[in-house]
Structure 1
Amino acid sequence: MGSAQAEIWERYAARYVPRRAVNAAGAATWLNWTQYPDHGPDEAVLGDVRGKRVLELGSGAGANLAHLATLGAVCTGVDIAPSRTEVAGRTWGHLGELEFITADAVEYLAGVSTRFDIVYSIFGAVWFTDPEVLLPLVRRRISDGGAFVFSQPPASDLEQEGGQVIRQWHLSADQWTERLTAAGFGAIEVAVVDAPEPGLTGTLLVRALY
């Protein structure tokens, strides 16, 4: 993405509403894969993160990644919007093994030499990046036995629409499986997490190993 795309994300970031101080369970940090508060799976999808090197693509204000840092992960978050990186660092930088970087996901993955045990994205860069470009780059940066996990709206519920400022990739379960397999991933699991109420859009959750 170029500077024009970064400016678009900056305008989106200007509408950011801070996350609640605590969730329904009273926790100050938490991770949730869906677009609904206190709904769906948590960090258990990633397995044991203690001591693991974790990368989030599209880390936003950093709350999800901060939770993993409290569990002992060594965390890096990448986001294209400078203001989001600034907020994330200011809010969560005190946690220690946690850094936030302003960068386009593709450019970051192409330029970094670090290998990560876990790469994940929650309604983030995976949704807005051509998988033919992104997936091979993610694979190169994942350690043997590492996991790649991401969530976004299902293709059946939110199809590609014309006139979008930033393109979104809404692929079916079979399409994601085909592309991940072609990129060298295995043990691919694709499922839809139902919404908390009938009629609402669910959440596509994809997990693949390398």
Structure 2
Amino acid sequence: MPHEPTTPAEYWDKYKPHKGEGTQPTPQMDRFNWTQYSDHGPGAEILGRPRRALELGPAEGKEAACLAHQGVDVTAVDFSSIQVARARTFWQGTPGLAFVHEEACAFLASGTTAYDAIYSVWGAVWFTEPEELFPAVAKRLAPSGVFAFSQAEPVAGLYGPQQMRGRWLEGREHELTVLRWQFTPDMWADVLKRHGFTDIDAHILKAPNPRDTGTLMVRAQAPE
């Protein structure tokens, strides 16, 4: 019988803590990584030279901290209270860096600040209906601002919202299930075009080992 999707925040609140809350050291912050493979692929240069950036779904906050250490004013928004608390602990005292506990679309709709770059590294873009998220992103980007995101390459033939499951807690009787959106690069490009984005580059970056899962890389800009 299919699992009903879990509230996404519940899923992520439970994802990390069961692995040893309070024991994880601060993540390494030596490089901005878009992929799941360390030191693979491009870095923060994809975002251009933003003065103000917004990350959607920062989790541990490593990429946000990396940008902040380069002098960028970074706001990082996550709907998991536990993830936000952990990120604040890891990066407390970092100038120009703020972690906010809120759902991505709600945050985008609630303010007027314009960002030079809005990005997501295997984060909220993967788990949010693009027809709701992309118009909200477009409204908060400065003219010619960059919208960029990465996630796992799609499984052939499985497009649109897909269920992702995980029995994250030992002894839990039922799996937690959330939806994640996956499309081919051309499909993502079409969605972005419909919402007014320009200069779109969407492609699959192969893994260091071709037998492993690659990374979907997408970059677009707001109109001038």
Stretch deviating more after TM superposition (162-171 or 191-200): 162-171
Query: Deviation digits for residues 146-165 of structure 1, max 9, x if unmatched?
Result: 00000011224593555741
1:41–1:163 CA distance, 2 compared to 1 (3 A): closer
- Give the partner amino acid of 2:12: W
1:162–1:53 CA distance, 2 compared to 1 (3 A): closer
Tell me which of the two structures has the higher relative contact order, counting C-alpha pairs closer than 8 angstroms and 6 or more residues apart. Answer: 2
Match of 2:205 in 1: 193
1:73–1:4 CA distance, 2 compared to 1 (3 A): same
Instruction: Please give the alpha-carbon distance, in whole angstroms, between the structure 1 residues aligned to 2:19 and 2:80.
Output: 12
Shift of 1:118: 0.2
Instruction: Please give the alpha-carbon distance, in whole angstroms, between the structure 1 residues aligned to 2:7 and 2:27.
Output: 33
**Aligned positions of 1:80-95 closer than 5 A:** 80-95=79-94
Match of 2:173 in 1: none
**Aligned positions of 1:30-49 closer than 5 A:** 30-49=31-50
**Is 1:11 the equivalent of 2:14?**
yes
Do the aligned residues in 2 keep the contact of 1:32 with 1:64 (CA within 8 Å)? yes
Match of 1:171 in 2: 183
Instruction: Please give the alpha-carbon distance, in whole angstroms, between the structure 1 residues aligned to 2:80 and 2:121.
Output: 16
Match of 1:25 in 2: none
Instruction: Please give the alpha-carbon distance, in whole angstroms, between the structure 2 residues aligned to 1:88 and 1:163.
Output: 24
Instruction: Please give the alpha-carbon distance, in whole angstroms, between the structure 1 residues aligned to 2:212 and 2:135.
Output: 33
Q: TM-score, normalised by structure 1?
A: 0.88
**Is 1:77 the equivalent of 2:76?**
yes
**Aligned positions of 1:13-28 closer than 5 A:** 13-15=16-18, 18=24, 22=28, 28=29
1:15–1:149 CA distance, 2 compared to 1 (3 A): farther
Do the aligned residues in 2 keep the contact of 1:129 with 1:168 (CA within 8 Å)? yes
Taking every aligned residue pair, what percent have the same amino acid on both sides? 36
1:107–1:162 CA distance, 2 compared to 1 (3 A): closer
Helix, strand or coil for the counterpart of 1:95? coil
Stretch deviating more after TM superposition (155-164 or 168-177): 155-164
Query: Deviation digits for residues 59-104 of structure 1, max 9, x if unmatched?
Result: 1111110000011100000011111111111211211111000111
Match of 2:113 in 1: 114
Give RMSD over aligned pairs.
2.0
Do the aligned residues in 2 keep the contact of 1:57 with 1:121 (CA within 8 Å)? yes
Instruction: Please give the alpha-carbon distance, in whole angstroms, between the structure 1 residues aligned to 2:157 and 2:150.
Output: 13
Helix, strand or coil for the counterpart of 2:67? helix
Do the aligned residues in 2 keep the contact of 1:29 with 1:66 (CA within 8 Å)? no
Moved over 6 A (4+): none
Q: TM-score, normalised by structure 2?
A: 0.83
More strand by share: 2
Q: Which has the larger radius of gyration?
A: 2
Instruction: Please give the alpha-carbon distance, in whole angstroms, between the structure 1 residues aligned to 2:38 and 2:205.
Output: 13
Shift of 1:171: 0.8
Number of residue pairs the alignment of both structures matches: 201
Shift of 1:16: 5.8
Helix, strand or coil for the counterpart of 2:77? strand
In structure 2, runs of 5+ residues without a counterpart are 1-5, 166-176
